[in-house]
A and B are shown apart, each in its own frame.
Chain A
Amino acid sequence: MTGTLSSPTAQELTPDELLEAYRTMRTIRAFEERVHDEFAGGDIPGFVHLYAGEEASATGVCSHLDDRDAIASTHRGHGHCIAKGVEVKPMMAEIYGKLTGSCHGKGGSMHIADLSKGMLGANGIVGGGPPLICGRALASQKRGDGGVGVAFFGDGASNQGTTLESLNLATIWNLPAIFVAENNGYAEATSSSWSVATDDIADRAAAFGMPGVIVDGFDFFAVHEAAGEAVARARAGGGPTLIEVKFTRYYGHFEGDQQLYRADEVAHARENLDCLKRFRARVTADGQLDAAQLDRIDADVAALIEEAVAEAKAAPKPGADDLLTDVYVSY
């Protein structure tokens, strides 16, 4: 794993870009750990799926994207939202089911979206996103605006027909689409080593006539490099790419999952593979950033999350008036 320190994009990022990447990953981590605690305290309703451990994937990919670009996410979507620029406070309020939430309390954890930021929604349906992203990529292709679409999906969704159909469609239409298979080892409680027929999800790229790459999902720089290549190819009209990002999720499938199916890989990952630890070690060793800069970000983020939770708890719930609105633009 130490080999990633020599990743060729390391020197291509400016200090500001590195700080931004770190801030994003730290925000996701702090957000998710806090939600984990709050959920355990019984304050958060419904189903919550946490992204902790996977931060390098959303951050490494989305650092290449701008407002032209759209992403589709999964039920484990908080990290993708934050990486694509969705405001943290409305996200937290949404998870609490409050009127001030990103979706006015009508969506919840699994449906946080901000279309103005190109975030096409977390998605409660496994495999729901890839067809939509084909459409976003098509829209950019037709407009000629250079935009790309990125579908994040898990190892579970890699077995869904929607995903496989989308890989096919993206190639035959030569869409500016990137398919990011986030293989965290489990679809719910079932191991991807059993449920995915090929050795790797990326192997399936060949079947659909597109490049497929496997990257270490704990390494921001590895993800950043692979995604950079895929995004550049897509923007230049070179068609889609399948990127398989391998890592481990730090928490269960959903909050409350006893995780009886797992061995002790999480402790090992947290200790030895963690994306934030490795990022910090690398950029400080290179002398690109100093530890104090990163500590300040840690403190800023902690304060932001603290405020987000306090405001979310204090915010009003949607009322009867809100039940019937927002079904249609007009009816």
Chain B
Amino acid sequence: MARTITYREAINEAIAQEMARDERVIVMGEDNVGGTGSPGEMDAWGGVLGVTKGLYGRFPDRVMDTPISESAFVGAAIGAATGGLRPVVELMFIDFMGVCFDQIFNQAAKFRYMFGGRAVTPVVIRTMWGAGLRAAAQHSQSLLPVFTHIPGLKVAAPSNPYDAKGLLIQAIRDDDPVIFAEHKMLYDTSGDVPEDSYALPFGEADVRREGDDVTIVAIGRMVGTALEAADELAGSGISAAVVDPRTTSPLDLDTILELVEDSGRLVVVDESNPRCSLASDIGAQVAQEAFGALRAPIQLVTGPHTPVPFADSLEDLFIPDASRVAAAVKTAVDWTK
């Protein structure tokens, strides 16, 4: 029963199971097959990191390569969604939203409201996010706050293989447009994943660790960083809860508030740039809703207000690590008026 697979395999399995279950599900993206029109083999790539590898062999009519033409094919996926298909389209790097953002935020996100509730746009935009791969400024951003900001979009950011499968299945079955953000540093991480299909509801945070002294909210890869910090802190007698919101839109603020009501301290860890980030958003909402419960200023641990740098020495400084998280926790725990 306990079967261990990688984050990458979990995503692939979710798509494959949904394609088998529902023939309206189609997959498209740059090199999602890999090899269309070329003299060599088809399914040469399965996407730039091999996430969709093998799907073409099983569903040759429903897995499509696209030209490097994000506005057209992301827009086509959105249009096809209004026409009864359930496209899973890959925007290779989240940074590339710059060339197709109109289709996402002015079209997909707005249809339902603009058209008075009469549109359904069940599109999933899978995209790779986050720093750590020495991929520099145009291939390493978070940008989740940008999507989270926009009404009409849902945003999922799984931190582990189990969540990746369940959240992606939910995303495909969901009738709203979903940005499914896969952290590029997690693809090779492993975890227990049931072979059966299952959908994880959006807007339900996962309390990954319980703790009384402080509540750490962390997103995506930062969940692992926060858990590492919590282990470290336990050695100093500090008991830290770690919460993974799993989806940033909708956001399960209730669970965060419940924990903060008990602990009185909040640390938010988000590798985004700091301004208008998930950290500042969650921090502000908790300050407004649970001010009376707070025993220390909310601590935000984020990347700096810079593009993501290339050199490993710099990128390692950019990404929050467990020692920064632990330091923020200690600041909160040690704080006195």
- Which residues in A have some Cβ–Cβ distance to B below 8 Å? 70, 72, 101-107, 111, 113-116, 120-121, 123-125, 128, 130-136, 138-140, 142-143, 149, 161-162, 165-166, 168-169, 172-173, 325-331
Do A107 and B80 touch across chains, with their CB atoms under 8 A apart? no
Do A135 and B83 touch across chains, with their CB atoms under 8 A apart? yes
With known contacts A168-B69, A169-B66, A169-B67, A327–B116 Cβ distance under 8 A? no
Which stretch in B5-13, B106-114, B219-227, B281-289 binds the other chain? B106-114
Bound Cα distance from A130 to B111, whole angstroms:
15
Do B81 and A331 touch across chains, with their CB atoms under 8 A apart? no
Bound Cα distance from A169 to B117, whole angstroms:
30
B interface residues, how many (CB within 8 angstroms): 46
Do B114 and A113 touch across chains, with their CB atoms under 8 A apart? yes
With known contacts A131-B76, A169-B76, A139–B118 Cβ distance under 8 A? no
Do A132 and B75 touch across chains, with their CB atoms under 8 A apart? yes
With known contacts A125-B107, A165-B71, A132–B114 Cβ distance under 8 A? no
Q: Which residues of chain A have C-beta atoms less than 8 A from B203's C-beta?
A: 331
Do A329 and B71 touch across chains, with their CB atoms under 8 A apart? no
Q: Find A138's partner among B85, B110, B112 (CB 8 Å cutoff).
A: B85
Min CB gap A180→B, angstroms? 16
- Which residues in B have some Cβ–Cβ distance to A below 8 Å? 26, 61-62, 64, 66-67, 69, 71-85, 87, 102-103, 106-107, 110-120, 151-152, 154, 174-176, 203, 250
- Chain B: which residue is nearest A72 at the CB level? B79
Q: Which residues of chain B have C-beta atoms less than 8 A from A102's C-beta?
A: 115-116
Q: Which residues of chain B have C-beta atoms less than 8 A from A104's C-beta?
A: 116-117
Min CB gap B111→A, angstroms? 7
Looking at A107, A131, A136, which has the most chain B CB atoms within 10 Å of its CB?
A: A131
Do A135 and B80 touch across chains, with their CB atoms under 8 A apart? yes
Looking at A104, A111, A329, which has the most chain B CB atoms within 10 Å of its CB?
A: A329
Bound Cα distance from A70 to B79, whole angstroms:
10
Q: Find A328's partner among B64, B83, B112 (CB 8 Å cutoff).
A: B112
Those 3 A-B pairs whose CB atoms lie nearest each other, nearest first? A131-B75, A135-B79, A132-B79
Min CB gap B205→A, angstroms? 15
Looking at B107, B113, B116, which has the most chain A CB atoms within 10 Å of its CB?
A: B116
Do B116 and A101 touch across chains, with their CB atoms under 8 A apart? yes
Bound Cα distance from A101 to B117, whole angstroms:
12
Q: Which residues of chain B have C-beta atoms less than 8 A from A107's C-beta?
A: 114-116
